[in-house]
Structures are given as structure tokens and as C-alpha cells.
Amino acid sequence: MLKLWKIFSKGLVTENPLLILMIGLCSAVAVTSGVANAIGMGAAMTFVIVFAELVISLFRKLIPNDARIPIFIIVIAAFTTMVDLAMKAYWPDLSESLGVFIPLIVVNCIIMGRVEAFASKENPLHAAVDALGMGLGYTWVLIGIAAVREILGAGAFLGIKIMPKGFQPILFFTLPPGGFMVFALFISMNLGIKRGMDARAKARLETSKEAS
Amino acid sequence: MNLASIFISALLIDNIVLMRFLALCPFIGMSVDVNKSVGMGLAVIFVTVIATMVTWPIYTFILVGLDLKFLQILVFILVIASLVQLVEFFLKKNVPGLYASMGIYLPLITTNCAILAVTFDVISRGYNLIESVVYAVGVASGFLLSLVLLAGIRERIKTAPIPKFLQGTPILFVSTSLLAVAFMGFAGLIK
């Protein structure tokens, strides 16, 4: 159980795909001008990564080493196509505003990276848990960035006006430069948290050494 | 729409990195120094143009004809992946000089989302083959331009006094943000 929790939780902060590993960045800045888009993108991404890791982990012993990259790509592309078609059918508005970024999940390096580094070596349960951790780690960052940008840039949250009447929306935050700026601050914040955690772990290690 | 305006808008107004946030991974990863970034940028231009020239006819004549449009994602990514491989073999055998200078970047290009995005864009915008190629050159040159600009900034950053909480990657995104502000000035260039 503890091991599963460890696998799950590393995706959230210490090995967060966006803030620490710095992969899969494109969609993170592009779709975060509104919270609704961020939730849609996060859900789509989590779906694809969980199923891709699960399937590849199930077949890991059958996949020949030389042909693994094309096989991974086909599996990922198949699940991406499913998401794309489902979204077009049931949530056409969301699909319209996410645009090319849904098909681009296929080249999102987070999925390829986790499949190659984790799912192709571990059992299906671990792979699924890892994928869920990475997917949620991706989603919380997306929603966080989107919340900051939407509240400051449009004075709204999920499309509902929440700021007081006299609030003048800061247009900068909904435009592309604002996305980069908020993302920079998120990385900085996450690095700060990670530094704090490392320092605490080190302190604990030292006290336990002294006690012994 | 004439070809020049397609090119300029792809290069500056809708700059692939700064305005559309695509290809950020190689943008951050490969902009360590100016020489490397030029190599990467040229390799991207080369592959993007070839990929567009191959995927456009495949979509227009094969996928539409057989009513297999839903296979677009799968087909395009496979075409690009194998194309990169072919280009690599071809260069290795026939143009070893070019291969030596470009070789290490080629495998990385498969996962460069700019290329896949261009091949989707030209389909959804309904460009013909010539417009598509011009668009591909414009987008990829925009990538080269922003990559070289960031590489230049990074060389300056090395010696600059940076607040502790922004050191490392955060400062890169702050620089990118300011670069994007500058590029927003191009917005009214073409009506």
C-alpha cells in the first residue's frame, strides 16, 4: 500500500511532469486561459495516459524491444483518437476551444516518457497508479494556472463573475505572455515547496542520526 | 489569401512558440546556445516541409477518398515518425556532412508537436498544396527565430543577477513572456 501511495504521490509534487520534469509543456500554457478548458484538457490527458500505461504494461512481455516506440505511438494514438471523437460528439464546444491540442496529446512527451520509463517495466497495477498520479499532477497544475489567469484576466471563475464590480480585468493574463508569466511563478512556487520538503527530510535524517 | 501574408502571419503574428505555445519542450530544452539552436531550427524547417508535402496528399487523396478521416491522428503521426527515420538514413548515406551537423536533432523532432500541428492546421484551414508548403516554411522559420532569440537571451542571463526564487527554469519563462509581449506588437501587421 505504502509503495502504491509513493508511486502515486510523486507525480503530484516531487516529480510533477510539468513543473519539475518540464515535459508536456505546450498544452499547459495554451489551454489555461479558462478553468473549464483546463478541466477538459486534464481529464482527456488523464484518460489517455491511464489507458496507454495500462495496455502497454499488460503487453510489456510481448512487445519486442526494437519495435517498441512505434507500438507505443500506435497505442497512444488509438486512445487519443477515442478522446477526440468522443469530445467532438458529446462536448462540441469544449472540443472547439481546445482545438488542435486534443490530437496533440499523441505527441505529449509526458505519456511517451512514462510509458517508456515506467509502464514498459512495471506490473499493470503500478503502471495504472503511476499514470493516475501523473495525470492528476498535470491536471492540478493546469487548473491552478487557469484559475489565476481567469480570475485576474477576466474576473471570473468557470465563466461566473466573482470579482467585485469595480474590478478592472487585467487583460495581460488572458493573453499568451500572461500564460508564460503565471507558469514561471508556478514553477518557482513548486521548486520552493520541493526545497522545503528536501530540507525537512534532511533535518529528520540528521536528528535520527544524532539519536542513534 | 496570398502566399506572402500566409508566410508573414505564420512567422510573426501567430508565432508557433510565443503565440500558440507549441513546441515548448524543444524551445526550452534546445536553446542552450545559439549554434545548437540554429541547427535544431534548420532541422525542424526541413522535416516540417517534407512532412507537410507528404501528409497533405495522403489526407486529400487517400483518407478523404476512402472515408477514413477518423484515422487522421494515427496516420499522420506514423507518417512523421517513419519520415524522420527515412530522412535520417538518407542523410547518413548521401549527405554525411549535413547528417553530422543535424543528426542528433532528428530523433528529437518526432515528438516536436509543431510539426504535427502544422500538418493538422493545413487540413483544417483548407490550404492547397502550395499554400501548405509556404505555411510550413513560415511556421518552422518562426520556431527557428524564437529559438535563436531565446538562446541569445540565455547567454545574457548567465551573467545577470537574478532573484533567488526565479533562478533556473522560472527565469526562462519570464523571458519568454517578455518576448511574447514584444511579438504581440506584430498583431496589426496584416488585416
At A122 the pLDDT is 81
Residue A17 — φ and ψ, nearest 5°?
A: -60, -35
pLDDT tens digits for A132-186? 888 888 888 888 888 888 888 777 777 677 767 767 777 788 788 888 888 888 8
In whole angstroms, give the CA distance from residue A3 to residue A9.
10
Say which residue the cell 527530510 belongs to: A201
Tens-digit pLDDT profile for chain B (191 aa)? 688 888 888 888 888 888 887 877 777 777 777 877 887 788 888 888 988 988 888 888 888 888 777 888 888 888 888 888 887 788 788 877 777 766 566 666 766 778 888 888 888 888 888 889 999 999 999 988 988 888 888 888 888 888 877 777 888 888 888 888 888 888 777 76
Q: How far is CA A187 from CA A113, A181, A201, B49, B165, in A?
A: 20, 10, 21, 34, 10
B169 contacts in chain A (CB < 8 Å): 22, 184, 187
Closest CA to A46 of A14, A79, A23, A68: A79
List of chain B residues whose C-beta atoms are within 8 Å of the C-beta of residue A84: 73
Q: What is the mean pLDDT of residues A40-61?
A: 88
CA closest to A175 among chain B residues: B19
Q: What does the domain layout of chain B look like in residue ranges?
A: 3-181
Q: Which residues of B touch A175 (CB under 8 A)?
A: 180, 184
Q: Which residues, in sequence order, are CB contacts of B124 under 8 Å at separation 6+?
A: A100
Distance between CA A178 and CA B163 in Å, rounded? 20
pLDDT at B191: 60
Query: Which whole number is the average pLDDT over A88-113?
Result: 82
pLDDT at B103: 59
The number of distinct structural domains making up chain A is 1
Nearest CA to CA, how far is A78 from chain B (Å)?
A: 7
Of B29, B170, B177, nearest to A177 by CB-CB distance is B177
Span A88-107, average pLDDT:
83
Q: What Cα–Cα distance (Å) separates residue B179 from each residue in A2, A161, A168, A181, A203?
A: 45, 31, 25, 11, 41
Write out the DSSP string of B153-176: HHHHHTTS---GGGTTHHHHHHHH
Look at residue B5 in the predicted model and tell me its pLDDT.
84
ipTM of the shown complex? 0.78
**Distance in angstroms (rounded) separating the CA atoms of residues A76 and A53:** 9
Alpha-carbon gap, residue A153 to A173, rounded angstroms: 5
Q: Is B111 on the interface with A (CB under 8 A)?
A: yes
Identify the domain containing residue A103 by its residue range. Answer: 2-211
Sort out which chain A residues have CB atoms less than 8 A from B24's CB and list them: 25-26, 29
